[in-house]
Structure 1
Amino acid sequence: MSVTTQDNAQAPLGGSILDRLSPQLISWMVFGAFTVLCLVLRGDEKWLLTYPKEWFLPIEEILETGMDWFTLNFKPAFRLVSDIVEWPMAGGRVQFGDWQMNVFGLQDLLVWMPWPVTIALVGIIAYAAKDIRLAIFCVAAMFYMVVVGYWEESMSTLALVGISVPLSLFIGMTMGLLAYQFRWARKVINPLLDVMQTMPTFAYLIPILILFGIGPVVGMVASAIYASPPMVRNVMLGLGRVPDNVIESGQMSGCNGFQLLFMVRIPAALHTIMIGVNQTIMAALSMVIIAAIIGGFADIGWEVLSTMRKAQTGQSLIAGLVIVLLAMVMDRISRGFAERSGDIHLARTGNFLNRHPYLAAMVAATGIGLILAEIVPAFHEYPVAWVFDPAEDLNDAVGWFTRNFFGVTDAIKNATLFFFMLPMKAGLDRIARPASWGFEMTQVAATIYWGLMIAISIGAARLGGWRAAVVVGLLAVLYFFGSTGTPWPVFVGAVTLIAYQVGGWRVALFALLGMGFMLTSGAWPRAMLSFYLTATSVIICFVLGGALGIWAAQNDRVSAVMRPINDTLQTMPLFVFLIPVIMVFLVGDFSALLAIIMYSIVPAIRYTEFGLRNVDPVAVEAARMMGCTERQVLWRVKLPLAIPEIMLGLNQVVMFALAMLVIAALVGTKGLGQWVYDSLTNARFGQGVIAGGSMALMAMIADRIIQAWAMKKKRDLGITS
């Protein structure tokens, strides 16, 4: 009787243990066994580490053949388009019979225009956009370009942007209207936008370079295409947010479909559309600067690139500051107009001067400036003797810094490389040496490492559940074996399983097919090198940026200090981030890491601060009434409720890091970014598509997983907005 009772008592206990093992946990246990098997066999089964070439698909050959056929049949048409597009910028000669006339292009016009006139016009436009402070800043920024001797190069860049932005706005507005009006168009345009916004910048240049040849048209066309997605998305978003009562008012007034769109919907969505204009301008400027890599046009981007290649630190800093100021001027003015676009203004009455004061001021400034330029030749061409050139002083200062602080910078660089970056790349088992780590990775050392990781996993499971233990386990495997030493079936399986548990079978299938493309195209080894550099930078950005975001959310003064810093970092074109890191740390993976962090850290800061500041105040007050301290409120209430926004910030960090990765190829990194750069220099279309497509797929896989996780977390927390 007692035995039966004991057996009956144990049955529910066994059942409760099985009930605790959820299907998700069981799947990770099975995957853990699979991982151990792959790691044990990887020494004997070489295909576990290196995907066999016999399994490759001829993707590059197919792409090259297709591009050769397309070029053979359509290149003359594209060259004709090139001549047409180049004409508004470079100008040309118009001839009818015996009559002929030279017509200025935008570049000729901006270079010919007296610099005081251009500066005055920019100041008036800035004042119209916002206020006198913005006008003063813009005038000072433009005057700096004159004083340091980069006026013509700046105007050449401005001309490229001036032609590419209207093209981008036209493309973006057209695609946005199509996507809003027709569901079939939306189904085509949305995935196209995903690809366009995740494709590396250099990858845009490869087909355009093949079809259009060397010259400024490549930069214009690439900028027009690259900068259009923000406009498309903002048009779709703005039109979709127009209130129903506004639309009903238009319908009751007798508007037809055309009038309802252009006289009701678009004006009501103008604020969101103008934000798209701001983003389009900044994207176009960024691409114009990047397009300088192919040469053929003496703009400010080429000046920065050429001085960087010659290791002329002072000159590159001066030219880089020109790019930063030009970007800030465009950003602040376009943002000012965007912020004012929703304001309601009474119609001005009276004469022309009263009705159009800013236009009248611009006409007067132009007339007076042109007259003065005839009297004062320096207004047409700034004298060389007046140019302020501190390049040599800057070079001396940089030399002094590197000589006196080399020990410090070298120690920081080596510590980061040997204790973090190289293990993530090649694995601790291959990196741990007496010279760097103080010990050899023997069997005893490996046993101690795994014992420590198991202990940390158990602690993580107690604090955060089995999922925290899984995260620790995955990071432990990655740190010990490295991205290049982890068997590809383990990596593919882990990402696919995460995608399935977070986003369902569709996200998992997309991730599996994306990684399958990288494997079968031969891009996998380079993808792992890119993954290591991206992962290390994302981890640092997420930890450091999250900490700064928490600090800014808790302290208004810190937030006020960090806001202009974040604005500046987000305004700067990608090239500029390379200048200071090369100046101090020379070329290499560490310099690339710093450049990626500088560019990618802002979303982590901003989304963390935004999430914490927008936590439901009712939940915060309830926690305080229960006696929670401010630290407990932060860690137990605010941070858990802000996790969806923080994870969206992580998503943006990943996107920014991958975007910067291809630019980091200029400082000697290996991986997909370098592969894209090589395909650009050698005009290899197939290789460029594979490399660029692989980077886009990495970004899209991360985006789908993080977005799905954030939405799931919102549902779990009961957050509907």
Structure 2
Amino acid sequence: MGAETGQRLLWVVLIGLLLMTQLLGERGDWFIAYPEGWVVPLTPILNGAMDWFIQWTGWFFRGLSDTLAVPVSGVQQFLQWLPWPVVMVLTAAASWAAAGWKLALFSTLALLYMVVVGYWPESMNSLSLVILSVPLAVAVGFVFGVWGFRSGRAEKIIMPMLDMLQTIPAFAYLLPILLLFGFGPVVGLIASILFAFPPMVRNTMLGLRRVSAEVIESGLMSGATPRQLFWQVRIPSASHQLLLGANQTTMAAVSMVIIASIIGGTADIGWEVLLRIRKAQFGESILAGIVIALLAMVIDRITYGFAGEDDRESAAEEGFLRRHRYLVIGAGAAVLAFLLSNVVPAFREWPRDWVIYPADAMNQWLENFILNWSDVIGALKTVAFYYIMLPVRVGLVDTISPYSWGFEFTQPMRLGYAALVMALGAWAWFRGRVRLALAILFMGVLLYFGLTKLSWLVLVAMASALGFQLGGRKLATGTLLALLSLVLVGVWPQAMLSVYLCGIAVIISFIVGGLIGITASEVPMVSRVVRPINDTLQTMPLFVILIPFVMLFKIGEFSALLAVVAYAIVPSIRYTEHGLRNLPADVIEASTSMGCTRWQLLTQVKLPLALPVIMLGLNQTIMYAIAMLVIAALVGTNGLGQQVYIGLGDGDFGVGIIAGIGMAIIAMVADRFTQGWNAKRQAAYS
């Protein structure tokens, strides 16, 4: 019996075992629902350890918090004191230097919006934390990146640490920091540094390794010492990658500063958005959310523009004034703006009578829109919840009822459902589509009983078997231990709720995003329309994405699902379009010369060749969905994200950190699975 046949037989046995346990077992049986009496009491252990740690080291962290509060308060007060035209002029000069007059105009209008709507003080409070956290995060990331570049052993320690830091939900960062450093803006500063430095580490290691051997050899031949070789040869050669790392670190810091405002005490724009969302104030939350989006886009475009510059040689030949013209012009204009602010009171503080705040009109528009389209909104929410989400969550057996579907799920209907699933599975099997047949049988069982009610024992065995197929014994063992840890600490039910919502969102994002990406690769006009939308969604902090869905569909899982899809769809679109646009020209030309139609070229040549890149997009879609899932806990979802939020609200370190690590485990298992599939696919292709 071959390996392929053995794997098929194993899956038949596992699916049969799953069906048997569901039919013969009761919901209270240990192999379906893990008994509470068997749960390892890790939460009180972690809480006790944290209490002991705080008792012995609290003086140090509180002292550090008081020390860091001084520069935080100083920068906040300086930005509040600085007249808004001065900040606007300096930002415009930096924008022009980074990417030209168009970005300068956009930045000026963005800052003017913050002034006109009356959110300038809150915006400056958020900006002050970004100004402090970004240099510290870049410095920490650079040091770790250099260490990992120089030492193979260090890299083996650093990379798993980065994986954990980048997969643990953002909320989970806040809880231990809040307990150690106390209440206040310093929590946002520390959390931003921890959350933002990993991209700098990765880009530093990548940039230093990409320096060509010819450049290094040239430096050695010139007599450079090891120190000179590093600082005067390697670093300048890797500067582009280092600046990209700084850009990614900056955007991560902006995102975390906004998220950290959930604990309050910051009086920044993130807290303003959260406050308005909680009060269901649509107009106010949109106006504040636009401020966050504009702030993020301005910072992103400026840092990305400087990262894309590569004119060191030509700049070295220019004079001082020519080389630093933007700095000189910006400084001169800033001084002039400062002097004018002492003469013109509106330049010092925007008059309240001049504030344009159309929140009431926006709220009225929303009320009229919901009133006119209430039937469509209600029908869309009802269909999605009762016909898609609920069957996946609790199964058709508990979903179909006169209240939800209009009829009972009678015994003949159940037998008909089973016969349909078996018929489809048999059709696929005898057509030689064995994997499709197995997928049909598994989905048939899942939809009948519901993901949250399936046997944990069989699901863990299935995931381990899949890990063995994709990555061998190492991945299978890691998957088994990781999932068993979720079972043992008692968060398996919450994990399945997270997988259910995240899974639906990923499927929708991957299918819809893939179709949009394919269309964008074939139709240039679609690509031009989609690209700025993707840029906006990717730079927009996660809080803002929640606003329109909460206001239209109210709090609940459906709003959370739409928010997750809106955020997670971006990598699917980007990677699909990128994979289809960057294929070998000779292969495309050969296929065209053989008489392939456009449809044949797409389905039989382009898509198979681009599949590894598209699957990388699936990997990123999963990561984005899990990241957004925690933010979606703010609008009433259940699962691990809600547990993290509960732990943060109650100051329960054990609950929050276990749930956070649980989400990291799900993310890393999914990441390893997609990487394993991609590696097997590329090996088969080569």
What is the TM-score when the length of structure 2 is the normalising length? Answer: 0.98
SS in 1 for 2:130: helix
Q: d(CA) in 1 for partners of 2:296 and 2:144?
A: 26
Equivalent position of 2:65 in the other structure: 82
Q: d(CA) in 1 for partners of 2:406 and 2:587?
A: 50
In the alignment, is residue 598 of structure 1 matched against residue 581 of structure 2?
no
Equivalent position of 1:101 in the other structure: none
Q: Show the 5 A alignment for 1:370-409.
A: 370-409=338-377
Task: Go from structure 1 to structure 2 and tell me whether the alpha carbon gap of 1:236 and 1:623 turns closer, same or farther (over 3 Å shift).
Answer: same
Q: Which amino acid aligns with 1:86?
A: A
Q: d(CA) in 2 for partners of 1:650 and 1:490?
A: 25
Per-residue displacement from partner, 1:492-512 (whole Å, max 9, x unpaired)? 111111111011111111111
Equivalent position of 2:631 in the other structure: 663
Per-residue displacement from partner, 1:76-120 (whole Å, max 9, x unpaired)? 101111122221121xxxxxxxxxxxxxx1111111111111101
- Is the 2:134–2:253 Cα contact (8 Å) retained in structure 1? yes
Q: Show the 5 A alignment for 1:30-429.
A: 30-43=13-26, 46-90=29-73, 105-341=74-310, 344-350=313-319, 352-429=320-397
| Equivalent in 471, 474, 478 of residue 506 of structure 1 | 474
Q: Which amino acid aligns with 1:84?
A: T
Per-residue displacement from partner, 1:147-171 (whole Å, max 9, x unpaired)? 0000011011000100111111111
Q: Which deviates further from its counterpart, 228-237 or 26-35?
A: 26-35
- Is the 1:274–1:341 Cα contact (8 Å) retained in structure 2? no
Q: d(CA) in 2 for partners of 1:707 and 1:592?
A: 27
Q: Which amino acid aligns with 1:542?
A: F
Q: Shift of the alpha carbon at 1:536?
A: 0.7
Q: Shift of the alpha carbon at 1:348?
A: 4.8
Task: Go from structure 1 to structure 2 and tell me whether the alpha carbon gap of 1:463 and 1:140 turns closer, same or farther (over 3 Å shift).
Answer: farther
- Is the 2:571–2:618 Cα contact (8 Å) retained in structure 1? yes
Percent identity among equivalent residues?
A: 49
Task: Go from structure 1 to structure 2 and tell me whether the alpha carbon gap of 1:129 and 1:20 turns closer, same or farther (over 3 Å shift).
Answer: closer
- Is the 1:270–1:342 Cα contact (8 Å) retained in structure 2? no
Equivalent position of 1:472 in the other structure: 440
In the alignment, is residue 672 of structure 1 matched against residue 640 of structure 2?
yes
Q: d(CA) in 1 for partners of 2:421 and 2:652?
A: 45
Q: Which amino acid aligns with 2:548?
A: P
Q: Shift of the alpha carbon at 1:29?
A: 2.2
Q: d(CA) in 1 for partners of 2:130 and 2:173?
A: 17
Q: d(CA) in 1 for partners of 2:608 and 2:460?
A: 30
SS in 1 for 2:224: coil
Q: d(CA) in 2 for partners of 1:660 and 1:628?
A: 42
Q: Which amino acid aligns with 2:539?
A: T
Q: d(CA) in 2 for partners of 1:192 and 1:63?
A: 20
Per-residue displacement from partner, 1:222-274 (whole Å, max 9, x unpaired)? 00110011111111111111111111111111222222221111111111111
Q: Which deviates further from its counterpart, 409-418 or 441-450?
A: 441-450
Equivalent position of 1:611 in the other structure: 579
Instruction: Let me know the Cα RMSD of the aligned residues.
Output: 1.5
Q: Which deviates further from its counterpart, 431-440 or 181-190?
A: 431-440
In the alignment, is residue 571 of structure 1 matched against residue 539 of structure 2?
yes
| Equivalent in 446, 449, 456 of residue 481 of structure 1 | 449
What is the TM-score when the length of structure 1 is the normalising length? Answer: 0.93
Q: Which amino acid aligns with 2:482?
A: G
Equivalent position of 2:602 in the other structure: 634
Q: Which deviates further from its counterpart, 33-42 or 323-332?
A: 33-42
Q: Which deviates further from its counterpart, 74-83 or 565-574?
A: 74-83
In the alignment, is residue 436 of structure 1 matched against residue 404 of structure 2?
yes
Equivalent position of 2:622 in the other structure: 654
Greater relative contact order (CA < 8 Å, ≥ 6 in sequence): 2
Equivalent position of 2:5 in the other structure: 22
Q: Which amino acid aligns with 1:635?
A: T
Q: d(CA) in 1 for partners of 2:591 and 2:439?
A: 29
Q: d(CA) in 2 for partners of 1:150 and 1:467?
A: 56
SS in 2 for 1:587: coil
SS in 1 for 2:26: coil
SS in 2 for 1:632: helix
Task: Go from structure 1 to structure 2 and tell me whether the alpha carbon gap of 1:273 and 1:459 turns closer, same or farther (over 3 Å shift).
Answer: farther
- Is the 1:270–1:341 Cα contact (8 Å) retained in structure 2? no
Q: Shift of the alpha carbon at 1:447?
A: 1.9
Q: Which deviates further from its counterpart, 56-65 or 132-141?
A: 56-65
Q: d(CA) in 1 for partners of 2:142 and 2:425?
A: 52
- Is the 1:223–1:287 Cα contact (8 Å) retained in structure 2? yes
- Is the 1:177–1:236 Cα contact (8 Å) retained in structure 2? yes
SS in 2 for 1:433: coil
Equivalent position of 2:497 in the other structure: 529
Q: d(CA) in 1 for partners of 2:160 and 2:3?
A: 40
Q: Which amino acid aligns with 2:308?
A: E
Q: Shift of the alpha carbon at 1:443?
A: 2.5
Aligned length: 686
Q: d(CA) in 1 for partners of 2:25 and 2:616?
A: 36
Q: Structure 2 unaligned runs (5+)?
A: none
Q: d(CA) in 2 for partners of 1:111 and 1:601?
A: 38
Per-residue displacement from partner, 1:107-155 (whole Å, max 9, x unpaired)? 1111111111110110000000011111101111110000000001101
Q: Shift of the alpha carbon at 1:349?
A: 4.5
Q: Shift of the alpha carbon at 1:50?
A: 1.2
Q: d(CA) in 2 for partners of 1:715 and 1:342?
A: 40
| Equivalent in 536, 539, 548 of residue 516 of structure 2 | 548
Q: Which deviates further from its counterpart, 625-634 or 161-170?
A: 625-634
Q: Shift of the alpha carbon at 1:451?
A: 2.0
- Is the 2:580–2:606 Cα contact (8 Å) retained in structure 1? yes
Equivalent position of 1:515 in the other structure: 483
Per-residue displacement from partner, 1:356-413 (whole Å, max 9, x unpaired)? 2112112211211111011101101000000001000001001111111111001000
Per-residue displacement from partner, 1:472-507 (whole Å, max 9, x unpaired)? 222222222111111111211111111110111111
Q: Which amino acid aligns with 1:516?
A: L
- Is the 1:196–1:229 Cα contact (8 Å) retained in structure 2? yes
Q: Which deviates further from its counterpart, 608-617 or 661-670?
A: 608-617
Q: d(CA) in 2 for partners of 1:447 and 1:20?
A: 34
Q: d(CA) in 2 for partners of 1:438 and 1:463?
A: 37
SS in 1 for 2:30: helix
Q: Shift of the alpha carbon at 1:464?
A: 7.0
SS in 2 for 1:345: helix
Q: Shift of the alpha carbon at 1:456?
A: 2.6
Q: Structure 1 unaligned runs (5+)?
A: 1-17, 91-104
Q: Shift of the alpha carbon at 1:39?
A: 1.9
Q: Shift of the alpha carbon at 1:38?
A: 1.5
Per-residue displacement from partner, 1:198-243 (whole Å, max 9, x unpaired)? 0000000000000011100000000011001111111111111111
- Is the 2:505–2:561 Cα contact (8 Å) retained in structure 1? yes
Q: d(CA) in 2 for partners of 1:417 and 1:248?
A: 63
Larger Rg: 1
Task: Go from structure 1 to structure 2 and tell me whether the alpha carbon gap of 1:518 and 1:24 turns closer, same or farther (over 3 Å shift).
Answer: same
Q: Which amino acid aligns with 1:68?
A: D
Q: Shift of the alpha carbon at 1:20?
A: 9.2
Q: d(CA) in 2 for partners of 1:20 and 1:375?
A: 83
- Is the 2:19–2:445 Cα contact (8 Å) retained in structure 1? no
Q: Which amino acid aligns with 1:282?
A: M
Q: Which amino acid aligns with 1:333?
A: I
